[in-house]
Amino acid sequence: MSIAYISDIHGNATALEAVLEDIKQQNIDQIVVLGDLCFRGPEPKKSLDLIRKLDAPVIKGNADAWVTRGIRIGEVPEKVIKMMREEQEWTCAQLTDDDMSYLRELPEQVTESIGDKKVYGFHATPDSLFEVVKPDSSDEDLRKAIMEKEEADIYLYGHIHTPYVRHIDGKTVANLGSVGLPFDEDPRASYLIVNEEGPEIRKVSYDIDQAVQKLYDHDYPQADLVANVYRTGKL
């Protein structure tokens, strides 16, 4: 049994298509999606349609909440809230009422079994769509933020766009990285495969120039900012 976990597509359908093609080559039994599907990329509608066609478990991320109910004061730095609200409005204009309803109704956790291992997935932490848990957090901080709410063998999350795998108390905590908007200084798309041996991070090259061109072709409000992330892998 092998499961591919993907997250943080952020409207980058070019990267998503490359990842889905790579998954086809990996003898995967199932795909699970850990949120942030549409916001901050040139093709929110296409990205969402690709995800919905998978007939896979999908959970909500903070950016999915932003699309459906807006960005609230205190959730992002004050100096960028106007800019991000413009991006949110642009994203919403690309989606249908049915798309918005789908995003609004997504659950916030998902549990799967691989052999005798329980895999618990969420977007940021089990209790929050927004909390940031960094790769260099102490073991104690990881236990408190990630591992205390639910008993599992493997804990997976997205949100920070920085892939890693850690082992604590005989259990595994891992971040998927980001399909469409990586922050780890590696511009390739990132996702995770989990089998009975544990999680493995996979990196996938894709046509970044094409993704950048789509930002400008679609008149994305912050095309220069997002294009720089595509090219450098950092915000």
What pLDDT, on a 0 to 100 scale, did the predictor assign at position 101?
98
pTM exceeds 0.85, yes or no: yes
User: Residue 60's pLDDT band (boundaries 50, 70, 90)?
Assistant: very high
Q: Which tens digits make up the pLDDT trace of 1-16?
A: 999 999 999 999 999 9
Tell me: the pLDDT tens digits for 35-50?
999 999 999 999 999 9
153 contacts 169 by C-beta, under 8 angstroms: no
Return the bridge partners of 194, or none. 3, 199
Distance CA 170, CA 25 (A): 30
Question: Any idea where the domains of the chain sit in the sequence?
Answer: 3-232
Q: What average pLDDT does this structure show over 141-158?
A: 96
- pLDDT band for 143, please (50, 70, 90 cuts): very high
User: Rounded to 5, what percent of the chain is helix, strand, coil?
Assistant: 35, 20, 45
Residue 235 has pLDDT above 90, yes or no: no
Q: Which fold has domain 3-232?
A: Purple Acid Phosphatase; chain A, domain 2 (3.60.21)
